[in-house]
Structure 1
Amino acid sequence: MVALYLGGLKIARVQRPPMWRPVTTSDTRADRREDHDRQSKRPLYRLWAGFLALDLLVVIGGGATARAAGTLLTTTQLNAGVIGGIFMAVVNALPETLTAIVAARRGAVTLAIAGVIGGHCLDALNLAVGDLAYGGGSLFHAAGTGQLFLTTTALLMTAVLLGGLLVRQRHGWWRMGFDGVLLMLIYAIAVVTLAF
């Protein structure tokens, strides 16, 4: 998985000519760059230091979340699929969600989309890291029906996301595109299915 990911990045970087080119249409909205932003006046090393400090907080929070999930598993009647697929997934997605919201509100739509898709790729790579840490053979062979169901749900949601990137809507449902509504519906169905 890691080799495929790195190979894909390499191919995307060196491909000449590109396999596809984006074109500007009447519906294209360019990202706005805020030159007057106070963050842009800070030295680069301070931005990196702040970024790394926040990353460290996320790592510490991730460890605490894993311990809390273990405690939930031993003290409640909930199964591991529900705890991992719902509770830990929500906690894991919160930083990515907030980043996407802030980026979109600031007009950096490409950053918002790339952050979500890039985070999705790295989340998949976390399975390879977990496979290394798992002592009982392959992590993938230990997956139960709940994990396979969530994997299938994630694939379906990724297909809907890609469809939303390809099909542009001028007016969507409830101020969202069809893809946003379908993603929420698919996730809600998955949560109910896992819980019962």
Structure 2
Amino acid sequence: MALAATAVVIVAAGVRLTRVADSLSERTGLGDALGGALLLGAVTSLPGIVTTVTGSLEGDPGFGLANPIGGVAVQTVWLALADLVYRRANLEHAAASLENLLQALILVALLAVPVIAYATPDLRLGWIHPVTLLIPVAYGYGLHLLRRLQRSPMWEPVLTTATERAGEGPGASQARMSSLWLQLAALGLVVGVAGWVIGQAGLGVIAATGLPSTLVGFTFTTAITSLPELVVLVTAVRMGTPTLGVGNIIGGNTFDTLMIAMADVFYLEGPVYRDAGDQSLVLLGGTMLMTAVLAGGLVVRDRKGIGFEGLVLPLVYAGTVALIFATG
């Protein structure tokens, strides 16, 4: 019952988050893609942050690391589901945006950083791996590149009748900025508490069933903690702002890589990569492949239907889960 109630709370908060963040991205001048990265991406990731920190503090490195990686994977699959909702055109075609494409490339780079840590498990700075410090630095530089691209783009996507233009979709809320920021903070607190409940439930499932913690973290808990991203994506698509929806997913995924660093910081028994096991490498590889497929979809831009990426993304995710289950 607690999990069902938590899911309902996350869904309800996610709908309101869409409206608030859309208004803030318009009124602050961030734009839909960058607004999705900074506002929606950060706040809707709060359940996953709390779940990841909970797993690491409880001494389960596999669970702590699988949550952020699994969050990236599950949220990428959400795009295939949203394609079914957006009937006007292929979702990636309509959401053509250099910011979204650059975010996907930044995400691949950030996911590659932990692979270096896996290859050098004995390096440590205190109890963390030195490479962990590169993740927030690279993330910050990625945001700098996004802002620079937005100000002076050197490429432009070809606009078609199905491409969302700047300024399309509902107008920004007329509420005061202070009120919008307070609403954003309050909704963030709600989904953060929900994340703690989910983290405890996930650890309980591992203890009760004996399933690998990487499998539970990659599937069960991330499917619930990623509900805000799904709700925000579907709501944004129905509002007629697909760029905001896709930007939320890719921006949220990029933000989730910071949770990999958090998993290492809050795991106090040494570098989390050393103790998480080889299955986490499988998760990283599958998730990087999914992100590359998504970037390909943003470039190829099939005009109608779900496109090749809508078929390949669920298959790669299912294959990754099958590998973890078979080797667990």
Q: Identify if the C-alpha distance between structure 1 residues 17 and 120 changes in structure 2 by more than 3 Å, giving closer, same or farther.
A: closer
The residue that corresponds to 2:142 in the other structure is: 8
Q: Would the aligned equivalents of 2:164 and 2:243 in 1 still touch at CA under 8 Å?
A: no
The CA deviation at 1:116 is 0.6
Look up the SS of the partner of 1:41 in the other structure: coil
SS in 2 for 1:136: coil
Distance 2:241 2:304 in 1: 20
Q: Aligned equivalents of 2:303 and 2:210: distance in 1? A: 46
**2:241 paired with 1:73:** no
- Counterpart among 265, 268, 271 of residue 132 in structure 1: 265
Quote the offset at 1:163 in angstroms: 0.4
Aligned to 1:111: 244
Q: What amino acid sits opposite 1:179 in the alignment? A: E
Q: Alignment partner for residue 182 of structure 1, among 300, 309, 312?
A: 312
Kindly provide the amino acid, as one letter, of the partner of residue 138 in structure 2.
L
- Structure-2 separation of matches of 1:54 and 1:177: 34
Give, in angstroms, the shift of residue 19 of structure 1.
Answer: 6.2
Q: Higher helix fraction: Structure 1 or Structure 2?
A: 2
Q: Determine the C-alpha separation between the residues in 2 that align with 1:13 and 1:146.
A: 36
The alignment's TM-score, normalised by the length of structure 1, stands at 0.88
CA distance in 2, matches of 1:177, 1:11: 28
- Aligned positions of 1:27-46 closer than 5 A: 27=161, 28-30=163-165, 32-35=168-171, 40-46=173-179
Amino acid across the alignment from 1:132: V
Quick one: which amino acid aligns to residue 260 of structure 2? L
Quick one: higher RCO (CA 8 Å, sep 6+), 1 or 2? 2
What residue identity is the alignment partner of 1:126? M
- Cα distance in structure 1, aligned partners of 2:138 and 2:270: 21
Please tell me whether the aligned partners of residues 294 and 309 of structure 2 are also in contact (alpha carbons under 8 angstroms): yes
Structure 2, unpaired ranges of 5+ = 1-134
What are structure 1's unaligned runs of at least 5 residues?
none
Classify 1:13/1:34 alpha carbon distance in 2 versus 1 (closer, same or farther; 3 Å). closer
After superposition, the CA RMSD in angstroms is: 2.1
- Identity %, equivalent residues: 32
2:294 equivalent in structure 1: 161
C-alpha deviation, 1:117, in angstroms:
0.7
**Deviating more after overlay: 15-24 vs 129-138:** 15-24
Q: How many residues align?
A: 190
What letter is aligned with 2:184?
F
Cα distance change, pair 180–15 in 1 and its aligned pair in 2 (3 A):
closer
Q: Quick one: structure 1 residues 166 and 134, their matched pair in 2 at CA, closer, same or farther if it must change by over 3 Å?
A: same
Provide the rounded CA distance (Å) in 1 between the counterparts of 2:204 and 2:222: 16
- Distance apart, 1:49 and its partner CA: 1.9
Q: Does 1:149 align with 2:255?
A: no
Higher radius of gyration, 1 or 2: 1
